[in-house]
């Protein structure tokens, strides 16, 4: 059984983060002390670690809420459901990667065309390109 500061320290997050997760339906402490302090169980601690691991894998908090629902009653779901979520996330990331790669290449091309020298930018091809596409 942990008080909020203890669990937060153990998982290297701030107490406010745990309150935020609670407000957003991700982690409710098992109970409260008679004075109203949040008391977290070992199961809660494990669930927090689940949340943090999923976050580190790139899932949003709303993805994680879904994953926790599935985890809470695994037998109601199929592997296909879970794998589908993960693959959708892969696709989402891939789309962003592609877009950023495209931007990076355009910028690199822009940079390559500029002499990069110490003289005045009056003739700078980068500015020229931005000025008149």
- 53 touching DNA, by CB under 7 A: no
Residues 73-112, mask of contacts with a copy of itself (x by CB under 8 A): -xxxxxxxxxxx-xx-xx--xx-xx--xx-xx-xxx-xx-
Question: CB–CB of 44/29 below 8 Å?
Answer: yes
Residue 35: partners with Cβ closer than 8 Å, 6 or more residues away: none
| Shortest distance (Å) from residue 5 CB to a copy of itself | 24
Spatial separation of the C-alpha atoms in residues 112 and 7, rounded to whole Å: 51
Residues 31-50, mask of contacts with DNA (x by CB under 7 A): --xxxxxx------------
Residue 79: partners with Cβ closer than 8 Å, 6 or more residues away: none
Structure tokens at 32: 């409260």
Which of 3, 71, 57, 61 lies closest to 33, judged by CA?
3
Name the residues that contact a copy of itself, by CB under 8 A: 46, 49-50, 53-54, 57-58, 67, 70-71, 74-84, 86-87, 89-90, 93-94, 96-97, 100-101, 103-104, 106-108, 110-111, 114-124, 126-127, 130-131, 133
Name the residues that contact DNA, by CB under 7 A: 3-6, 13-17, 19-20, 33-38, 55, 60-62
């Amino acid at each position: 059984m942990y008080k909020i500061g203890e669990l937060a320290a153990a998982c290297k997050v701030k107490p406010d983060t745990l309150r935020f997760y609670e407000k957003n339906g991700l982690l409710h402490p098992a109970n409260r002390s008679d004075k109203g302090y949040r008391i977290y169980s070992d199961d809660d601690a494990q669930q927090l670690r689940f949340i943090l691991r999923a976050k580190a894998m790139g899932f949003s908090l709303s993805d994680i809420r879904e994953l926790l629902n599935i985890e809470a009653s695994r037998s109601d779901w199929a592997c296909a459901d879970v794998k589908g979520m993960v693959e959708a996330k892969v696709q989402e990331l891939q789309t962003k990667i592609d877009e950023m790669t495209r931007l990076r290449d355009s910028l690199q091309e822009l940079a390559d065309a500029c002499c990069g020298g110490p003289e005045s930018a009056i003739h700078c091809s980068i500015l020229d390109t931005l000025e008149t596409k």
